[in-house]
Structure 1
Amino acid sequence: MAELAPHLPPLPHCRAALLEGMSLTGDPAVAPGGLETPRAVAARCAVAILHADGRSGHAVRVRAPRRAHYRVDVPSGGPIVTPNNCCRRSRLRGAFLALGSVNRPERPPHLEIPVRDSAAAELLLGDLGALEVPASIRMRRLRPVVTVRSATAVGAALSSIGAQGGRLAYEQGRVVRDVRAGVNRTINAETANLRRTVDAAVRQLDAAERLCADIGRWESLPPALRAAAELRRAHPDASLGPLAEHAGISRPAMAGRLQRLVEAARQ
């Protein structure tokens, strides 16, 4: 918010669009031509716009059960908002400044702007669509909320409203989150592979010990299985690769021999 509020649009119609965006998020009970926001920085921005256009205006702090709000009465007869992309960006910027929010970068991407009614939601949805930012509308506590839920779209929305620093911080956090997730997936996969290797080695060693203790069964084993059992007993912690290298055979061949050894011990 601190990045967006100090910079007023240079053109009167864009300033009018920013004010209109702020008014779209307020309480539906507020009379048309006025805006209400829980953010003091947004109220100060609205007053600065009115003064820049040579109109009178001031913010009034209104007490509420949960938190205070700031109400600004906007006089009629101001500049006309144009249907250009510059005004669309300003309108979105005003709505986001008044009540919008975006998740922290380490969490799943989510940008939302609660609005006063369905007409306001459709207007902002059209602005986002014109700027090629995919968005949707959902209801929360009987009020519509304009939502952007993909990482690419959230970044594009932040750039569209002029929050370049916010987008850079968001992208940096997203990269950190993705790298952390990739490292966690790799560690989990390696841990699972190691667990499977250890479990298999324990089963093979147990089978070799039991067969070796039974002279009759041991002597009935093929020489290749006896050699595999002796290798496993000699190298209880080794993986298939070193065992296969000691035996002078391939990994699949060694795996097959050890599997047959385990099956022989079960019989």
Structure 2
Amino acid sequence: MKKLTSGGLTFLTYLLAFLFFFPILWVLITGFKSEGEAVIIPPTIAFKPTLENYQVIFDLGVVGYFLNSVTATLVSTLIALLIGVPAAYALTMYRVKRRDDILFWIISTRFLPIAGVIIPLYLIFKNLNLLDSLTGLIILYAGMNIPLIIWMMRSFFNDVSFEIIEAAQIDGATGIQSFFQIVLPLVRPGLVSTALLSMVFAWNEFFFAVTLSYHKAATLPVYMASFMTQEGLFWASMSAAATIAILPVLILGWFTQKQLVRGLTMGAVKG
């Protein structure tokens, strides 16, 4: 009975994993179909693979959009981490006046819908000459992820005993040395999971990118939307572009899966 139960749970786990992965698999497959085969109903599995769609998207400049996404994602995540991690550490380890009010204000910046701030942001960006610039997107993405980083890292820092820091200071370590040499190594899995989640949010962001960029700073989500035309949807070419957008996240998640799992089970769900 135990073996039967274990086998059933294993089968159910693989089935659920397949169901979650199936949409991604279907996008990968569709990218190798012709446009005619991509819209056939019912869909066909037996087809002759073609690289025509990848040739099309490379001819249309997908590399430039890809580099824009990489630059905006990496730089904004780095800036957000440089600001958010020390802020979370200070709000966790030190007696900051009205700490709870500060934390609530930080997370409240995520309450307002994006559509409610897009017009003021557009006017500000226009006056500062930041429209269609990677600098503007980097600033927005960093600001978007800082509250997330502060709240996630705060839960990880809560798991670190303050006595460890006090012991290090007694041994002569400064506050900065304690932070970099003792605390950060202890919360490294949480830092990796937080950074990865921030990168995914920045990588997938569409609304700001499509509104505040035109061509020079347009990212992959904006590029994929260009296949929605008056003539219809070019499903095969869009799937090829989506594959290019999905692969970096899948590869990054694959190589950091151990740290990601450890980080997500380390205390990220605690208040």
When you count helix as a share of all residues, which structure comes out higher? Answer: 2
Larger gyration radius, structure 1 or structure 2: 1
| Larger relative contact order (Cα-Cα within 8 Å, sequence gap ≥ 6) | 2
TM-score (norm 1): 0.20
TM-score (norm 2): 0.20
